[in-house]
Chains A and B, each alone.
Chain A
Amino acid sequence: MKDNNTVKERVLNFFRGEKRSILLILSPSLLWYMVFLMAPLVLMVVLSFWRMEDVHLIPTFVLDNYIRFFTDPTYSRLLLKSIGMAGAVTAGCVGLGYPIAYYLSFKTRISKYTLLCLLMGPYLTSYVIQIFAWRHLILSYGGIVNTLLMNLGLIREPLTWIMNNQYVVIFILIQSWTPWIVLPMFASLEKIDKSLLEAAADLGASPMQTFLKVTLPLSMPGVLVAVLFVLIPSVGEFVTPSWVGGPGGYMYANIIQASFHRGLHWPFGSTLTIMMLIVTLGIVFVLLKKVSWEQIMESL
């Protein structure tokens, strides 16, 4: 017991010690972030002010790339479209995921943790394989959907509109993100003291009123986390649109990729990236400022 105490004491002293020890503990992650996040970001910013001459990068400081971004409406329109698509994905995911989280937290009689594990099942398959399956096995000209519908005699010719458009991109993103964002919403719902729901019922609230006035507002932090989880990566999504999106499903990140890759214009690619970063951070900022969730809830 005494030994235990001294060990505990020593550990505590170490932590109490000085800022040095805290820095020491944080240093691996700090280093990681410096090297793999901050450094590339700074590089991007620097690069965005450079010029291209044929295939050569010219280190300088010009605003050409930004001027190009703001004068050609194609780019901002595409960014807007991507944000719109990401918004649709987020709405779909939260709309489907919230009832699942609610069911898991309040209604299930089977072990909720077993169900949660099952929910995570799809992530045992790599996303590349999933999207490959969608493109080649499910939605393609001779894929499962077309074969099935033709065999049933519902269609004569294979459908081509089921792929290569923005809606299928949204659909597949919803499919892949939904199980994932159940987690933060589930965690948030689990934290709600069940006696609060009884209290609401006791004070005359019907089950629906209880949900709107107590459950939903109290689970809002989880919903917010879920929104950020889906929205941010969806705005910058490029794998899904490039595989199943076709020209109609083209998203903003695809032109970033193209600038770095085929277009060979790294400075403009950097500018595109930074503009997306700024807009996305702006959205996150507004969401975190909460638009005063409480007020929205009051108005319901």
Chain B
Amino acid sequence: MTIDVELKNVTKKFGDVIAVDNISFKVGKGDFFSLLGPSGCGKTTTLRMIAGFEKPTEGEVYIRGELMTDVPPFKRPTNLVFQNLALFPHLNVYDNIAFGLKIKKLPKDKIQRKVNEMLNLVRLSGYEKRKIKQLSGGEKQRIAIVRALVDEPTVLLLDEPLGPLDLKLREEMVVELKRIQREVGTTFIYVTHDQGEALTMSDKIAVMKDGRVLQIGTPMEIYESPKSGFIADFIGRSNLFEGGYADGIVEVDGLGKIIVEPEPQVPDKRSVLICAKPEKISIGRKLKGLDNVFDGEVKETYYQGRVTTYRVLLKNDSLVTVVALSSGVKDIFRSGEKVKVGWNKGDANIIT
């Protein structure tokens, strides 16, 4: 597989503050690669180093194998979709999209053809003469994206471009973005703090925290087998239990034994985290045939339509979040009700 972007031991300091701390990763050609993390984790700085707006304090950025250290942004084969979109307010839609092509002095008819292609791609044909301020939020998004795509960059960088949109529009744009990426086949590097967006669109996700990359993997790997408690909690709000491991059993203080899949590499007595996703925990008045079952009391019930979320207090005073499909009025557990929660050993995983 061809590698489009590679970061090698990149560190960025602003004064004494370390924004990005010795990160390395590779992005394959045509991949939708997401940098996911809470605000202040260094993801935007990382993106800006790839675009060329920030210089790494240490380490190197390569694009298609070429060292980028001394290449200014306007000579890099990358285009960035800015967080605030940064569409030129004094130009109309056509001139915004054609901006980069005019700079490159392409012949007029070729520019025209490419701009039309792009407008078709985002289904905004006929918008050529519109002013930017006449566009809706979603239309601005699309124009910003195709303005960055039109001169066929090697890599398209996106800095949380969906941030200012309302939820419904954001969901639409997620689908739209993925479609655009599939159609043009360009490598996308996408920065977001929204795990839902990242999971839906990405081929690969790098989870970042405090300037470091904690884990890189496919959405499924990141979700199903997080490598740290932070990731487990950040993505999908997992339930975590800590205890000493011995021979397929974890002893949790105040709760008892939890049966897990044996992990031969883990030495006895080693403290581990068990991560159980809310939707993989069963809840009921009686539970049978599960490896682990615990008594609890429903503290909070959130009926959300398709699903219902419960917060259940266990006897060791920890709260467990359970998400169950809503299955009818009489099957909803009310706050204060005694229930059982449980899961099979295969549905939880161990973080060492």
Contacts and interface: CB of A to CB of B under 8 A. Distances in A.
Q: Do chains A and B stick together as partners?
A: yes
Interface of A: 193, 195-196, 198-206, 209, 213-214, 217-218, 294, 297
Q: What's the interface size class on B, roughly? A: 20 to 34
17 contacts: A193-B84, A196-B89, A198-B53, A199-B80, A199-B88, A200-B99, A201-B74, A202-B53, A202-B73, A202-B80, A202-B148, A203-B79, A203-B99, A203-B151, A204-B100, A218-B90, A297-B90
Contacts of A213: 99, 103
B51 interface: yes
Interface of B: 51, 53, 72-75, 78-80, 82-84, 86-90, 99-100, 103-104, 147-148, 151
B337 to A, nearest CB: 41
A218 B51 contact: no
A206 B100 CA distance: 11
A216 to B, nearest CB: 10
A interface: dominant SS: helix
A267 B132 CA distance: 53
B90 A217 contact: yes
A195 B74 contact: no
A190 to B, nearest CB: 15
A204 B78 CA distance: 9
Contacts, number: 61
A201 B86 contact: no
B150 to A, nearest CB: 9
Contacts of A294: 90
A200 B79 CA distance: 10
A187 B74 CA distance: 27
A204 B103 contact: yes
A205 B103 CA distance: 6
Nearest to B79: A202
Contacts of A202: 51, 53, 73-74, 78-80, 148
A203 B53 contact: no
Nearest to A192: B89
Given A195-B82, A213-B99, A201 B90 contact: no
B295 to A, nearest CB: 48
Nearest to A298: B95
Contact of B86 (A198, A205, A217, A297): A198
Contacts of B100: 203-205
Nearest to A218: B90
A214 B80 contact: no
Contact of A214 (B53, B72, B88, B104): B88
A196 B88 contact: yes
A214 B90 CA distance: 8
